[in-house]
Structure 1
Amino acid sequence: MSPVDLVVAGGGPAGLVTALHAARAGLDVEVWEPRAGAVDKACGEGLMPGPLASLQALGVDPPGHPFHGIRYVDAGGAADADFRHGAGRGIRRTVLHDALRGAAVAAGARIAQRAVGAVTQDGEAVTVDGTRARHLVAADGLHSPLRRALGLDAAPARQRRYGLRRHFRTAPWSPYVEVYWGREVEAYVTPVAGDLVGVAVLGARAGSFDERVRLLPGLGARLGDAAPVGAVRGAGPLRRGARARVAGRVLLVGDAAGYIDALTGEGLALAFAQAEAAVRAITDGVPQRYERDWARLTRRYRWLTAALLAGTRPAAARRVLVPASRVLSPVFSAAVNALARPVGTS
């Protein structure tokens, strides 16, 4: 039996967009995802204008709630930066998953509820649990078992940050994604429907979701007595490195390829761009080129996120971040609009 062209390990957004590009390029592709139903995870759920436009260009346009910029908030006030070229959209992760899965299946990709175990490869193909494939894409998340099995895990970071997310039944009170800054934690509030907001709290400090929100009194007052919806979901440690993104006929895409932090909200945008680049490298017959493409696509994210993490680590720096963003409004606006552009543009 001839091998399939591509097996994608992981049925989250990174894996599904990879499968969508591959199927539309004429490849015979299977997505292996061990979990049934829509894949949910702790994330901010906000798509900036650039990646939203990229998604729509694929014919995928899931419903959500628009937002028109980013607002930084602390106990002393706020700083706003409006998008110059269209709105972003808050989209429930499960809604996004269903839209991407439907598009991938419509394009011809097959979805199988199974996990990836043993992987071997030779010069012609990858053997994944007895299935021969010309290539394998590992899109199996932040703690990628495939990355570890291939010996590509980088040394763990010394300073670790974690994220917790929960939804609340309340009408969005702001046309922005609001970022609440405290001494030890920050929270991202994203409107995802006309009566629902998502709250993602990030930080190195241990504690429950409610304990972390209490460190941000302005956020607690805004939420008031809004009813929580669903369970708290967690993620972390957020920083995960990969020593390489290509190992023979295996390519790493999305969080599996390495991740620094959710600080700039670029996770989905990066995953979409990497998926397209990985498939293009495969169809061009030069999978090793993806290593260089990955470095180019993620350069801005890696530099900016590392700089922001270092700059906001001291408590004194966190205290002046919002006032400085307000005083240096053109700089803040330029930074936000740089992040709003499609990944890979300068």
Structure 2
Amino acid sequence: MIDLLIAGGGPAGLATAIHGALGGLEVVVAEPRPTPIDKACGEGLMPGAVRRLRELGVPVEGHPFHGIRYVDGVNGRHAEGLFRCGPGLGARRTALQSALAGRAAALGVRVVPRRVDGVVQDGDRVHAAGLTARYLVAADGLHSPVRRGLDLAAPPVPGRPARYGLRRHYDLAPWSRLVEVHWADRCEAYVTPLAPGRIGVALLTGEHAPFDVQLARFPLLAERLAGAAGTPVRGAGPLRQGARVRVAGRVLFVGDAAGYVDALTGEGLTLAVTAAGELVRCVREGRPQAYERAWRELSRSYRTLTASLLWARHRPPLARRIVPLAARLPRVFTGAVNLLA
């Protein structure tokens, strides 16, 4: 019998599949889309994610970066926090997904072109997508159909506006060895080095407006990008998605499907790959319910810091102080950067 049936062949699902295969489990991934799968994201792997991917034997090509720089999008004032534990990696989403898929295939993980929607479970097995397994892992993304089908989505938080992500690549040489986060009213722009001649620009915003309209809020950045060839824009959102639990009988959730706060701190992939390992460990030990507590402990720093920044971001007088305060308190800012790194 299949030990783990994984719904979703993105990074979280494939990382779970690799952990499971390395642990001696029979793993099948259900994913209707062909590889590679693209998605709007910042495409920056923090040092913790780079290290964990290396431990899994996943070779990812990309461009190293050595810290985070917060930039005032209008006057250019900035604060820098350098990593103490090695570089991060700017990597195309398609390159990351291809590398994970290649490693999973080398370990004998089978991928079937099916979509998981209806789920039926009993005392010792789960039935979905025409297959039967001991456990189902829902790694089916931000708007998880499995989470919705089991009625496990948490209600929206009152008074918190929805946020969205937009991403475009530019044929432009990186001008910094850091990921830059430019701050403006109601919007942030992430600039990630991806290759010697390419950068990615991801906008996080609470307003519905075209990419170029949002980019104009960052005059210094817009001036740098002027004239550079850009790719079509990809979007994602609303970003905040709550899940009431991470374990529902024999169904376990990982990655964005397990609940997502915001992309503000860039820790999502690190959490997904790390949580995948904890999920497999709990299943192998015969204690799947223990994964709920493990996930909460793993994600605590991400949830706390991201929620705190969002709280300040939604209060304009405080939001305008984020970059100046980071510049005045470099040790605190560097400490926060390395907590997430």
Tell me the TM-score normalised to structure 2 length: 0.97
| Deviation by residue 1:23-74 (Cα, 9 ceiling, x = unmatched) | 1111111101111121111111111112211111111121100111111111
**Does 2:35 align with 1:33?**
no
CA distance in 1, matches of 2:46, 2:22: 25
2:99 is aligned to 99
SS of the residue corresponding to residue 189 of structure 1 reads strand
1:153 is aligned to 153
**Does 2:281 align with 1:314?**
no
1:218 equivalent among 217, 220, 227:
220
CA distance in 2, matches of 1:250, 1:109: 19
SS of the residue corresponding to residue 228 of structure 1 reads coil
Q: Which structure 2 residues correspond to residues 1-346 of structure 1 after superposition, within 5 A?
A: 3-74=1-72, 75-76=74-75, 77-158=77-158, 159-229=161-231, 231-340=232-341
Q: Which runs of 4+ in 1 moved over 3 A?
A: none
| RMSD of Structure 2 on Structure 1 (CA) | 1.0
CA contact 2:114–2:129 (8 Å) conserved in 1: no
CA distance in 2, matches of 1:174, 1:330: 21
* Superposition deviation, residue 302 in structure 1: 0.9
CA distance in 2, matches of 1:157, 1:190: 30
* Superposition deviation, residue 156 in structure 1: 2.2
* Superposition deviation, residue 312 in structure 1: 1.9
CA contact 2:126–2:134 (8 Å) conserved in 1: yes
The letter for the 1-side match of 2:118 is A
How many percent of aligned residue pairs carry the same amino acid? 56
| Deviation by residue 1:119-175 (Cα, 9 ceiling, x = unmatched) | 101111001133110110000000000001111111023421111011000000111
CA distance in 2, matches of 1:126, 1:303: 34
CA distance in 1, matches of 2:287, 2:109: 22
- Alignment gaps of 5+ in structure 2: none
Tell me the TM-score normalised to structure 1 length: 0.96
CA distance in 2, matches of 1:22, 1:293: 17
CA distance in 1, matches of 2:132, 2:315: 51
1:343 is aligned to none
- Alignment gaps of 5+ in structure 1: 341-346
| Deviation by residue 1:86-124 (Cα, 9 ceiling, x = unmatched) | 111100000000000000111111011110132101111
* Superposition deviation, residue 216 in structure 1: 0.9
CA contact 1:157–1:239 (8 Å) conserved in 2: no
* Superposition deviation, residue 8 in structure 1: 0.3
* Superposition deviation, residue 320 in structure 1: 2.0
SS of the residue corresponding to residue 5 of structure 1 reads strand
SS of the residue corresponding to residue 321 of structure 2 reads helix
Q: Which moved more, 1:151-160 or 1:327-336?
A: 151-160
CA distance in 2, matches of 1:112, 1:191: 34
